[in-house]
C-alpha cells in the first residue's frame, strides 16, 4: 500500500490558515459563544441577559466585554491618558487598575503591570491557537483582555486591556 506524502509547504499553509481563522474569529467576537457570557451565568455578582448587556453597553463594548472581542490597536483614547485615577470595568464600574500601574507597552492597548488586588479573574484561552491567560472583571465577568509575562518589574506582567472594556475615573 503506497503512502501519500504531505509536503512541508502544505503543512505550513494549513497551519497558517488555521491560525488566521482563529485570529479573525477572535477579532470579530465570534468565539464568544463559548466564552465569558456562557461562563458568567450565575458565577458573578452581576448577571444580566445578553439583551440587557447589549442595551447597557452598545455594540462595540458588548462585542468586547461579553463576546471576548478585541479592538484595533492604537484605537483607544485611554492609551494617552496620563491623569491620576482608576480604570474601571465599563460593564459594572468596578475599579480594576490604578493609574500608577499603567505604562506604555508599545503594543497599542492600555497596559498595566498589576490589577487592584482581588478585582480581576483569569481563565485559560486557546482562541488563536496557543495558550493565553484571559483577564476578566471579578464582579460581572466582562472580558478585559489578556495577561502576558513580558511586563516591567515588579510583577513582570503585562495586562493588555481593551480600552473599550474600561472607563477612566479621574482622582
| Sheet hosting strand 166-170, strand order edge to edge | 95-98, 85-89, 166-170
Taking alpha carbons only, the member of 101, 105, 90, 111 closest to residue 159 is 111
| Sheet hosting strand 132-137, strand order edge to edge | 102-103, 111-112, 158-161, 143-148, 132-137, 120-125
Please check whether residue 31 is in contact with residue 127, taking contact to mean a CB–CB distance below 8 angstroms. yes
The pLDDT tens digits for 57-108 are 999 999 999 999 999 999 999 999 999 999 999 999 999 999 999 999 999 9
The pLDDT tens digits for 119-171 are 999 999 898 888 999 999 999 999 999 999 999 999 999 999 999 999 999 99
The pLDDT tens digits for 2-38 are 555 656 665 556 555 555 544 444 444 444 433 444 4
160 is catalytic: yes
Q: Which residue has the higher pLDDT, 93 or 42?
A: 93
Q: How crowded is residue 45: how many other Cβ atoms within 10 Å of its Cβ? A: 11
Give the pLDDT confidence score for residue 128 in this predicted structure.
86
Residue 154: is the preceding peptide bond cis (ω within 30°)?
A: yes
Q: What are the chain's domains?
A: 8-170 (2.170.150.20)
Grid coordinates representing 122? 483569569
- Among 92, 137, 140, 160, which one carries the catalytic annotation? 160
Grid coordinates representing 74? 492604537
Give the pLDDT confidence score for residue 22 in this predicted structure.
47
Amino acid at each position: 500500500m503506497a503512502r501519500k506524502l504531505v509536503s512541508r509547504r502544505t503543512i505550513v499553509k494549513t497551519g497558517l490558515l488555521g491560525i488566521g481563522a482563529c485570529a479573525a474569529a477572535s477579532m470579530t467576537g465570534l468565539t464568544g459563544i463559548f466564552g465569558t457570557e456562557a461562563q458568567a451565568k450565575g458565577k458573578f455578582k452581576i448577571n444580566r441577559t445578553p439583551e440587557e448587556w447589549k442595551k447597557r453597553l452598545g455594540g462595540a463594548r458588548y462585542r468586547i466585554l461579553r463576546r471576548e472581542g478585541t479592538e484595533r490597536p492604537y484605537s483607544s483614547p485611554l492609551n494617552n491618558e496620563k491623569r491620576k485615577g482608576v480604570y474601571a470595568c465599563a460593564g459594572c464600574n468596578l475599579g480594576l487598575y490604578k493609574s500608577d500601574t499603567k505604562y506604555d507597552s508599545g503594543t497599542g492597548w492600555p497596559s498595566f503591570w498589576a490589577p487592584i488586588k482581588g478585582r480581576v479573574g483569569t481563565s485559560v484561552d486557546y482562541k488563536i491557537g496557543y495558550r493565553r491567560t484571559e483577564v476578566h472583571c471579578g464582579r460581572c465577568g466582562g472580558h478585559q483582555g489578556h495577561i502576558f509575562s513580558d511586563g516591567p518589574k515588579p510583577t513582570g506582567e503585562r495586562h493588555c486591556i481593551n480600552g473599550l472594556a474600561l472607563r477612566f475615573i479621574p482622582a
